[in-house]
Amino acid sequence: MDYKNYSDISFIKKGINELAKLTEPNRPYTRLVFSNEFYQAREWLHKEYLSLGLSISTDEAGNLIGLLESKLNTDNVVIIGSHLDTVPAGGRYDGIAGVVSGLNVIKYIIEKNIELPFNLAVYDYLGEELNSWGVSCIGARGIGGFLNKDILNRIDSYGRVLCQEIDKIGGDSNLLSGPLSKIKNIVACLELHIEQGKVLEKNNLEIGIVRSIPNISRHHVIIKGQAGHSGTVLMNERVDALVVASELIIYVNSIALEISMESNSHFVATVGKIDVYPNSATIIPGAIDLTIDLRSVSDIAREKFLDGIKNKLIFLEKKYECELHINDLAFAPYVEMDKKINLLFKKSCDYFNLSSKLIDSGAGHDTAHLARVAPASMIFIPCKGGLSHCPEEFAKLDDIAKGTAVITKLVLGLAKIN
Ligand code: GLV
Ligand code: MN
Ligand code: MN
């Protein structure tokens, strides 16, 4: 069967292009959660839901939902979702492709007058990307009951309290102390996403069926040295926090490389965010804030890395006579995708004659949290050069259309409609 009969490429193109315009003008493509641009994107999605005739709501965790209700008067629901927020200077497809694809699936079901035995929902999961509170996947964690008071009460550097922002956008943060009751009605959570890696492109494959998503943790390191005059303090009298940070960053990179080689499984660690205080050319850096982002499919490898870092901090404290602290910011465990859904994904790919392969994700996704509480899985489509989280990120509309057809067929399979 031709996948083009199950997807609408001009509809997909329109969605991708319209959302690309909703960016910070001087920093494409930037649509940070809770920013004006993010609210505009939510308005855009609201209008799309309206024009499809869906029931619209925002749940307690601030997820924006468009629901096609089944005539069977059931609470069972199949969810197709991803995210509209981006990283700073990110791309046009990460998350966005999944939301637009979900809209296209629902549009197909409506246009073909298909009666489903379950409700079908499209979700914009609130704030998937790492935010200024040091947490990602706000909406998906909220559904699963994985947002605790410590996270919800965090205040970011602009003085914003996370739970207040969730409430402002229509959520109810007081009801997020456990999983949302709707999880018992979830038949399946599905997500299309760009691969953000090169496996599909290199192997000339059309669809990646995701097998697993790694554990992800982020750790905040504070280094306290001594600020001073850059012209007068002698070299042997300095406690330069940035010099200490440099040694730590090189160590993070080298121990991660070593562990990834010996564990022979996905293991990566990055220091991508660093704040220098006071950040002036004439002042010796007095303090540093940095974040270590760590992803691993193996808990043993993760523990080994964190032990190494803790020992390194003790060593650096002595060597430089400075103060070092490490705090855990966020954690998401390693999770495997639902095997039954993956079998159906394979069947859908075969139905359209699309080449596919089971693939392990390197990135985190909303579906990782949903898979902890409900049947869930996702598919990847190729993206150019594996590039993502940058403006060069690119996926072919045709590839999004292929993935959309696969998800549509899977929804029909779940409904036992052939
Ligand atoms: C999500 O984009 C992640 O950081 O993996
Ligand atoms: Mn994403
Ligand atoms: Mn992302």
Bond preceding residue 93 cis, omega within 30 of 0 = no
Q: Are residues 264 and 244 in the same domain?
A: yes
Q: What distance in angstroms lies between residue 248's CA and the mean position of ligand 3's atoms? A: 26
Given 300, 332, 364, the domain boundary residue is 332
Together in a domain, 250 and 375? no
Index of the ligand 1 atom closest to the CA of residue 363: 5
Q: Are both 273 and 390 inside the same structural domain? A: no
332, 365, 394: which is the final residue of a domain? 332
73 three-class SS? coil
Looking at the fold, whether 201 and 285 belong to one and the same domain comes out as no
Q: Residues with Cβ within 5 Å of ion ligand 3?
A: 94
Is residue 149 domain-shared with residue 82, that is, in the same domain?
Answer: yes
Give the C-alpha separation, 206 to 229, whole Å. 58
48 C-beta closer than 6 A to ligand 1: no
pLDDT at 390: 98
| Buried residues in 350-363 as b, exposed as e (16+ CB within 10 A) | ebbebebbebbbbb
CB–CB of 392/193 below 8 Å?
no
Q: CA 395, CA 371: separation in Å to the nearest integer?
A: 26
Domain termination residue (choose one: 299, 332, 365)? 332
Distance 61 CA to ligand 3 centre (A): 19
Distance 228 CA to ligand 2 centre (A): 42
> Which ligand has the shortest distance to the CA of 215?
1
Which residues are in the CB-under-5-Å shell of ion ligand 2? 94-95
Summarize pLDDT for 323-346 with one digit per residue, the tens. 999 999 999 999 999 999 999 999
For 343, the token pair is 């079998």
3-state secondary structure of 246: helix
Q: Does ligand 1 lie within 6 Å of residue 363's CB atom? A: yes
The distance in angstroms from the start CA to the end CA of the chain is 12
Q: How confident is the model at residue 263 (pLDDT cuts 50, 70, 90)?
A: confident
Closest ligand 1 atom to Cα of 365: 1
Q: Do 284 and 372 fall within a single domain?
A: no
* Residue 276 contacts residue 288 (beta carbons within 8 Å): yes
Same domain? 208 vs 321: no
Same domain, 350 and 206: yes
Across the range 246-261, mean pLDDT stands at 97
Query: E strands, 139-278, where?
Result: 186-194, 207-213, 215-224, 228-229, 267-277
What's the CATH code of the domain at 230? 3.30.70.360
Q: What is the pLDDT of residues 288-313, one digit of tens each?
A: 999 999 999 999 999 999 999 999 99
For the domain that residue 404 is a member of, what is the CATH number?
Answer: 3.40.630.10
Alpha carbons 275 and 253: distance in angstroms, whole number: 18
In this structure, the answer to whether residues 122 and 159 fall within a common structural domain is yes
Count the neighbouring beta carbons within 10 Å of the beta carbon of residue 319. 10
Q: Which of 362, 169, 347 is nearest to 260 (CA)?
A: 362
**By C-alpha distance, which of 31, 60, 30, 24 is closest to 45?**
31
| CA 389 to ligand 3 centroid distance, Å | 6
Nearest-atom number in ligand 1 for the CA of 216 is 5
47 pLDDT above the threshold of 80: yes
364 CB less than 6 Å from ligand 1? yes
- Same domain for 71 and 86, yes or no, is yes
Residue nearest to atom 1 of ligand 1 (CA): 364
105 and 201 belong to one structural domain? yes
pLDDT tens for each residue of 157-184: 999 999 999 999 999 999 999 999 999 9
Q: Judge if the beta carbon of residue 366 lies within 6 A of ligand 1.
A: no
Question: Domain tally for the chain?
Answer: 2
- Sign of torsion over alpha carbons 75, 80, 84, 86: positive
Q: What is the mean pLDDT of residues 344-363?
A: 97
Kindly tell me if the per-residue pLDDT of 418 is higher than 80.
no
Task: Tell me: do 292 and 309 sit in the same domain.
Answer: yes
Instruction: In whole angstroms, give the CA distance from residue 64 to residue 51.
Output: 15
Nearest C-alpha neighbor of 368 from the set 122, 141, 95: 141
CB-based contact 125:82 (threshold 8 Å): yes
- Domain residues for the domain of 194 are 3-214+334-414
